Amino acid sequence: MDRRDFLKLGGSAVAAGALATTRATAAAPQAAAPFLSAAPIEHVRIGYVGIGGQGSGHVENLLKIPGCRITAVCDVRPERTDWATKQITAAGHPAPTAYTKGPRDFERLCETADLDLVYNATPWEFHVPIMLAAMKHGKHTATEVPAAMTVDDCWAMVESAEKYRKHCVLMENCNYDRMEMMVYHMVRQGLFGEILHAEGGYLHDLRGIKFADEGEGLWRRAWATKLNGNLYPTHGLGPVANCLDNNRGDRFDYMVSMSGPSRGLQDWAAEHVPAGSPKRNERYVLGDVNVSLIKTARGKTIVVEHCTNLPRPYSRIHMVQGTKGLFQGYPSRVYIEGRGKEDQWQEAQAVLGEFEHPLWKEIAEMAKGAGHGGMDFIEDYRLIKCLREGTPTDFNVYDAAAISAVVGLSVQSVGRKAAPVDFPDFTRGRWQTAPPVPIIHM
């Protein structure tokens, strides 16, 4: 019985509203059925691996989220597990078990600790080994970005998640940023019409960070000596891929990629690194600007950029173009045909009151002060909530694989004169019937 039939039978408007809500709620789990949901977990026990710059923020967030406990911590630096232990006990929880016996001690954590979730914020080379060990030992897993640096490793994640029926989640915080969520909300309401094209990127001057003698300086620069492509596609690509229904009605089909010359790190080393330092002898292969172009199965296009070695203000580009208008980030503005003045941008702030995503309305206060303007808290909150309720996670292993595959595929394309390279269909056809990412609530 649809809403009209119900009214014909004499139901009041209020009752009809109640019916509509019930149907929407009842439909939600079914709509999400194609992707994994696991048994609900009342209190999520977490093992946290890698408590450096980004991991520390997640530890702090998780201590504020109801229904979870960090019961194990792991880092190659015992001072970081000591720091986490202090935070955890100060929050009134029992001290976690610490795993600090070197770079493979996460294996012992995965094997021996009684955990529901192993979540890591380690250097890129450890993401996949940690996630595979976690799933093999019966734990859900989540990772910082990018999930994997090769297409083979993307498949390894997918196959393992399917084999062990465990969540394997890429924690792409930018999916949850205020503007990104507002744009997604507007896309779902059809404000921009059919979405035809999008652009995203990670344009961030990281030269100082890459040459530091601590934190990412200890591992991130090394990747620039090994790979030439887009090493960090997920922040820019994740949110716009959602607007294009990636893996949920459409999917990335193939891409081409080009890198320009490599100058930024060499120039920085020459200016800032003392003569005689081994850093001066490094040779970088990573082009300073990498541009990739993705074609989707439904014929849509996405430009993805990477630029982390040159002086510039921060940007993720964030452009979503439809048949009725577009959003353009940095600075955030919209243009919707028939709204506002013809041929003139409207500041996004002007439409935020009308189109703010419900999740941000509900959670902004709680997220205040958390990393990256609050979005890091929101992604952690959503992950724990989905695990507790036994629903599919907002983003799943197929999303992790598709958006991380751009690393490996861009390297392949750049190495072959921008030849087109195919994305695997990690969903094995399920993208055709999967519903869009649901509008998510607290």
Ligand X SMILES: NC(=O)c1ccc[n+]([C@@H]2O[C@H](COP(=O)([O-])OP(=O)(O)OC[C@H]3O[C@@H](n4cnc5c(N)ncnc54)[C@H](O)[C@@H]3O)[C@@H](O)[C@H]2O)c1
The site for ligand X (CB under 6 A) is made up of 49-55, 74-77, 80, 103, 106, 121-124, 126, 144-145, 173, 215-216, 372
Q: Apex CA 7: angle with CA 5 and CA 11, to 5°? A: 125
Task: Write down the least CB distance from residue 100 to ligand X, Å.
Answer: 8
Minimum distance between the CB of residue 336 and ligand X, rounded to whole angstroms? 30
Question: What sign does the CA torsion over 187, 191, 194, 196 have?
Answer: negative
Minimum separation from the CB atom of position 371 to ligand X (A): 7
> CB-wise, 52 or 392, nearer to ligand X?
52
Residues in the chain: 442
Structure tokens at 208: 């100082």
Residue identified by tokens 């510039």 is: 312
Distances (CA, A) of 121 to 54, 111, 236, 303, 411: 6, 19, 19, 27, 23
The tokens for 397 are 């292993």
Please, which residue, 36 or 121, has the CB nearer to ligand X? 121
Nearer to ligand X, 216 or 267 (CB): 216
Shortest approach of ligand X to residue 333 CB, angstroms?
24
Contact, 280 vs 269, CB < 8 A?
A: yes
User: Helix and strand tally (H, E) in the chain?
Assistant: 16, 15
| Distance in Å, CB of 102 to ligand X, minimum | 8
Q: In what order do the strands lie in the sheet with 301-307?
A: 346-347, 333-336, 325-328, 319-322, 195-203, 301-307, 290-296, 252-259, 421-422
Shortest distance, CB of residue 9 to ligand X, whole angstroms?
Answer: 52
Give me the residue label for tokens 């009151």: 353
Name residue, tokens 């770079």: 103
Long-range contacts of 363-368 (CB under 8 A, 24+ apart): 363/442, 364/178, 366/64
Minimum CB separation from ligand X for residue 220, in Å?
8
Token pair listed for 296: 């989707």
Task: Please identify the residue of the shown chain whose CB is closest to the bound ligand X.
Answer: 52
Closest distance between ligand X and the C-beta of residue 84, in Å? 10
Nearer to ligand X, 245 or 394 (CB): 394
Nearest approach, Cβ of residue 210 and ligand X (Å): 11
In whole angstroms, what is the distance from residue 84 CA to residue 292 CA?
A: 39
Q: Which residues face 294 on adjacent strands? A: 255, 302
Between CA 129 and CA 242 the distance in angstroms is: 27
Q: Looking at beta carbons only, is 76 or 198 nearer to ligand X?
A: 76
Minimum distance between the CB of residue 130 and ligand X, rounded to whole angstroms? 7
Query: Cα dihedral angle (73, 77, 78, 84), rounded to 10 degrees?
Result: -40
Of the pair 67, 103, the CB lying nearest ligand X is at 103
CA-angle at 122, arms to 213 and 364, nearest 5°: 105
- Closer of 233 and 287 to ligand X (Cβ): 233
Nearer to ligand X among residue 126 and residue 395 (C-beta): 126
> Least separation, in Å, of the C-beta of 55 and ligand X?
5
Contact status, residue 383 vs residue 391, Cβ threshold 8 Å: no
Q: Between 75 and 288, name the residue whose CB sits nearer to ligand X.
A: 75
Using the minimum distance from each CB to ligand X, give the nearer residue, 232 or 327: 232
From start to end of 42-144, where are the E strands?
44-49, 68-74, 97-99, 117-120, 140-143
For ligand X, the closer CB: 126 or 327: 126
Q: Is the Cβ–Cβ distance between 381 and 439 less than 8 Å?
A: no
